A and B are shown apart, each in its own frame.
Chain A
């Protein structure tokens, strides 16, 4: 991102309401994320975790405050500028996978590279590397309907990291998975973040999931950002 030494994410006095005069979902939030850092954000349902993520991704706009990504204030960016920033610098992992059912694993994974204008052979090479890293090499040309939930999420991780984004945003990536698959996915995500040197914010309400992160913060009730000590469990 633009300024090398700046924190990868810096949130200042962030406030978001759903309706103009309604109560704030998020109010006066501050948060910093260092480069390469892997942060878990925990909280109860409806506390505004996903809203925070949407604001970070530029998919939604705050009512006040600033969101700096790599030193750029994204609240000042136009929709197109934000889209291009997202294209190059952010990867997503969703609870519902959002793996397109009518594309093969290879095609799903290579989407971000294609958008960035990467051509063959580099495109194939990087996509296959990524699929190998998540252990799906031999199924590269299968369609998602043949996959289990865990495998689906592996594809999502591959897609989130294939273009080596500076920041990965993961929204309850294990929400739809059984505990065994969940643990595997979290381990894979952590490993791949390391591998690519990407920072990440993991949104979850599961403590065990949060434990895979470098640092955990608790988003409680309103405006208060409560930070808990890390209970680090190494992979």
Chain B
């Protein structure tokens, strides 16, 4: 019998909802569907890309127990027989990994030189395609390309692939294509002997994979081995390599996921609002059911069941939309959400894990239930006798009772802000945002009460009635305000964060690009460089005033971290603030010993200002002192700058791979560029741009990367606007009788409209102001906590005032328009009839 009550309640109330408020039902469904679809799509694309990435790294790492890694220049190959002979080692596989500069390609092509006979035992998956072709692989200028590399480079077997070694082009023959199933990233495979010879690294290896004898403890072995390894060579656990994808993109993924969560969050608020309002609309039906013998619990269960129905329908649609969206992204864009760190190959197709999809479905349903929970409880607690009477269409929200829980949440939020990152992620920061958001929302009723009491009487009928109406319907107002405040404040905070980031990024570019021209070889490549002579010949060109050549190379500092970037550049200019975007510096450090580290290096390697440290350079360790910390938006794994002269003294390496060029005033930049290009046979691999151009391009890339953010923000605000329109149309319908009466007693149509517009604008202004203030607070958390913790770089606060004013104005206009439109709909109904209508 109890079940009969719940089921009946569900049926009757859902029917009431469908018949009376189909639009609102649809909005709720849509809102949940959008939230869920965004979350699902973000999740699927991430998971797909990540899966490819980890699969690829897994194939590369294979079944190794320990990986020995050195700097790209490598270590002596004599380590290989030594390790082979070690009684704890079952198989040692020598590898030379090269990031080869390819003319016309922005990023280098990774070429793995390996001994197939060894690799076959450790990375069988990688070599599957080669059986039958092993002898051919011995061809000293032959390379096998992965399907992706072949596609990116448009090469087929038999074609020639040119790589730059030093300043010289070297032609390689494409021997074959490795199927996409084997290796989905762009990579080339060569025989290790060929690789050593081709890339002028005879006698050198930079990686050895080890499989240990059964029963040998890899950890202990690594620790013991570490003592015997040359400087700058590390024994790395394969997990570190396998997890690389996860670490590289984790912060970024968290941000995307958070954006999806924001839309879900706003959805929950909107469901709350719509359900609260629909309880009012259905109050007579609910009261009748109670009078006829439906218990409180049955009513509450019925209402929750309704939320489950709506939530699961919306979520199901959302999951399907999410799959469609993800498929589109994966197939059309080969996509990475504009970030560039994650890449999905076109061949793969999205990774659909039924459990994750079910989880997304569940999240959507739960969000709907959470949103519906409070209104359902409210409705169940209500006295049915009152509901059966006419009137009683107001929600009572006691403002002062919410102040304390609100304050508690805000206090919690402030405490969470102080917490350090959890496993490198700003979990506490996000929790702080949620707490602050909820806490301040609870203060909204008190805020509206206070503001409205200050509002002066105008002695204009329409305005005064509007004010009185707002004062009398603060509950409803709260419901329309909550979603818009949530979405608007989040949007404001994101805008401020992105704008601040863009400003800081721009300023950083300015510091980094002081010269007229920038030239560089594909970043991250190990093979191409300019010799000392070449550098000098450029400096000697007639229209060139000054040059600043740099050497960058990876620096392995810790076995459990990605390599940092070592930048050797001229640091003689004083103060160093002028040439590096310093955030802190110590002037007392001996310039000969100085190293300037980026914020990421500071965080990841736990270096401090003034701290002495040793760096492995050219196979030996050397002492340095941290003389400054600078801001770097380019190298997420950390960068360390040392004076170039010191680097040359230590390594004897005078080559360079980046350069800044100042042109004599009045000289033609294009002609200078041409003159430089003609100096190089490798002209194709050389990237040369005017600094202004680099800056424009970088900012374009920046904007593209944040396009998704903007799109998600816009969606959140749309959802918020839906909240306002739902509330407005509710009030309009509920107040048909009032409008009729006002018309009867002699208000003109225009005055009624004016009244409605006033109400709409007043509500929107209240919400916008509050949202702005809250958004500003949240942006501080985003910038100084979440951003700092997830990306390891700092940003200066910069408020996009104009943009925010425009947003706010648009929002207020939209809210007013919505209010007027709903009012007009209500006014077209027969005024007389609406007076008579009872409920």
Contact = CB atoms under 8 A, between A and B. Distances in A.
On whether the two chains bind one another, the answer is yes
B384 interface: yes
B454 interface: no
Given A54-B385, A60-B385, A101-B19, A116 B1 contact: yes
Interface in A86-122: 86-88, 92, 94, 96, 98, 100-103, 111-112, 114-117
CB-based closest 3 A-B pairs:
A87-B293, A102-B19, A59-B385
Query: Which range contains the number of A residues in contact with the other chain?
Result: 20 to 34
B384 A59 contact: yes
B383 A60 contact: yes
19 contacts: A54-B385, A59-B384, A60-B383, A79-B295, A80-B297, A83-B293, A83-B295, A84-B293, A86-B293, A92-B291, A98-B388, A100-B12, A100-B16, A102-B19, A102-B20, A111-B292, A115-B292, A115-B294, A117-B4
B381 to A, nearest CB: 10
A103 B12 contact: yes
Interface string B262-298: 0000000000000000000000110011111111110
Contacts of A60: 383, 385
B839 interface: yes
B670 interface: no
Nearest to B290: A83
A54 B384 CA distance: 9
Contacts of B284: 98
A100 B285 contact: yes
Nearest to B284: A98
A112 B292 contact: yes
B620 interface: no
A100 B288 contact: yes
B181 interface: no
B391 to A, nearest CB: 11
Given A103-B15, A115-B5, A117-B1, A84 B383 contact: no
Contact of B295 (A80, A92, A100): A80
A57 interface: yes
A115 B15 CA distance: 17
Could you say which of B19, B285, B385 has the most chain A C-beta atoms within 10 Å of its C-beta? B385
Nearest to B16: A102
A114 B292 CA distance: 11
Contacts of B20: 101-102
A166 to B, nearest CB: 13
Interface string B236-271: 000000000000000000000000000000000000
Given A102-B19, A103-B15, A115 B388 contact: no
Contacts of A101: 19-20
Interface in A66-86: 79-80, 83-84, 86
B390 interface: yes
Interface in B293-320: 293-297
Nearest to A92: B291
B8 interface: yes
Interface in B1-59: 1, 4-5, 8, 12, 15-16, 18-20
B838 interface: yes
Contacts of A87: 292-294
A126 B5 CA distance: 19
Contacts of A96: 388, 390, 838-839
A172 to B, nearest CB: 12
A87 B1 CA distance: 11
Contacts of B1: 115-117
Given A96-B390, A115-B4, A88 B291 contact: no
Given A98-B284, A102-B16, A116-B1, 14 more contacts: A57-B291, A60-B385, A79-B295, A83-B294, A84-B295, A86-B292, A87-B293, A96-B388, A101-B20, A111-B8, A112-B292, A115-B293, A115-B294, A116-B293
Contacts of A83: 290, 293-296
B150 to A, nearest CB: 64
Contacts of A80: 295-297
